[in-house]
């Protein structure tokens, strides 16, 4: 598939997931909570401020783009985080969702590699209309495995860093780690995967498929 088509489909998928506003919301909720907690020391107040910040993003998104589910998704995530922190009174619980996502996603990506159904192949292959045909192309399958391994490394590293910080109650360090190892790190992994897929798109198929037996005479 031409690189331009791959890029267009990737950008379309990125836009469907909320684009840069979703990225901004993810970073804002974590940084606003941490800043408010450092200034006030009050967990419920800090959680409320974080929810308020994401609510502003959500209202602006709905009013300008009419994108409802992306706005609701951001509010649900920060709402769950705020509820956890507010119910326990522990600031570290605001970042518990990030810790659990890293552990859970890392396990899913690892299993997908072990069973030879790499998550990136399933997602990108579906977006490109390939379904499961990419599994019969060794070169393409290897590229999808490499991309999945990139994300697995990211989730594993995030889990190894954030889990001890959460268990020892280091709020400031956990807040910084959660912010950097979530959306920004995911964006970096996506760029690395794009480069891997782009390099593969520039390489001609050394084993092109033969003619369809059904149409041969």
Instruction: Count the neighbouring beta carbons within 10 Å of the beta carbon of residue 109.
Output: 22
Helix axes 19-40, 43-65, angle to 10 degrees: 160
pLDDT for 71 equals: 66
Which pLDDT tens digits describe the chain residue by residue (217 residues)? Answer: 444 444 444 444 444 444 556 666 677 889 999 999 999 999 999 999 999 988 888 787 777 766 666 667 778 888 999 999 999 999 999 999 999 999 999 999 999 999 999 998 888 877 777 777 888 888 889 999 999 999 999 999 999 999 999 999 999 999 999 999 987 888 888 889 888 888 866 444 444 444 444 444 3
How far apart CA 199 and CA 143 sit, in angstroms, is 9
**Closest C-alpha among 111, 201, 179 to residue 151:** 111
The pTM for the full model equals 0.78
CB 151 within 8 A of CB 113: no
pLDDT at 20: 55
Would you call 133 exposed, middle or buried from its count of C-beta atoms within 10 A (0-12, 13-18, 19+)? exposed
Compute φ and ψ for 116, nearest 5 degrees: 65, 35
Asked if residues 127 and 180 have their Cβ atoms less than 8 Å apart, the reply is no
Longest dimension (CA), the chain: 80
Q: Which of 164, 153, 213 is nearest to 186 (CA)?
A: 153
User: Got the DSSP string for 135-155?
Assistant: GG-HHHHHHHHHHHHHHHHHH
**CA-CA distance, 23 to 197, in Å (whole number)?**
22
Q: Among candidates 77, 84, 44, 31, which has minimal Cα distance to 58?
A: 77
First to last CA, the chain: 28
Per-residue pLDDT at 63: 79
Residues 56 and 77 sit within 8 Å (Cβ to Cβ): no
What pLDDT, on a 0 to 100 scale, did the predictor assign at position 45?
A: 94
What per-residue confidence (pLDDT) applies to 186? 84
Structure tokens at 33: 């909570």
Look up residue 207 and give its DSSP letter. S
Helix (H, G, I), strand (E, B) or coil at 117: coil
Residue 44 confidence (pLDDT): 94
The per-residue pLDDT for 42 is 94
């Amino acid at each position: 598939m031409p690189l331009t088509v791959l890029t267009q489909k990737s950008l379309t998928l990125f836009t469907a997931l909320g684009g840069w506003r979703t990225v901004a919301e993810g970073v804002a909720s974590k940084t606003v909570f941490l800043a408010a907690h450092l200034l006030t020391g009050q967990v419920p107040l800090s959680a409320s401020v974080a929810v308020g910040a994401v609510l502003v993003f959500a209202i602006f998104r709905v009013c300008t783009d009419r994108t409802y589910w992306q706005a609701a998704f951001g509010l649900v995530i920060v709402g769950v985080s705020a509820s956890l922190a507010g119910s326990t009174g522990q600031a570290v619980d605001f970042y518990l969702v990030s810790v659990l996502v890293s552990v859970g996603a890392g396990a899913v990506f690892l299993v997908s590699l072990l069973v030879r159904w790499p998550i990136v192949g399933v997602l990108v292959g579906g977006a490109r209309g390939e379904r499961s045909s990419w599994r019969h192309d060794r070169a393409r399958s290897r590229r999808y495995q490499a991309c999945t391994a990139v994300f697995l490394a990211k989730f594993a590293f995030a889990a190894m860093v954030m889990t001890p910080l959460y268990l020892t109650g280091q709020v400031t360090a956990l807040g910084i780690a959660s912010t950097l190892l979530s959306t920004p790190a995911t964006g970096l992994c996506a760029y690395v995967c794009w480069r891997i897929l782009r390099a593969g798109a520039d390489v001609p198929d050394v084993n092109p498929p033969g003619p369809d037996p059904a149409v041969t005479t």
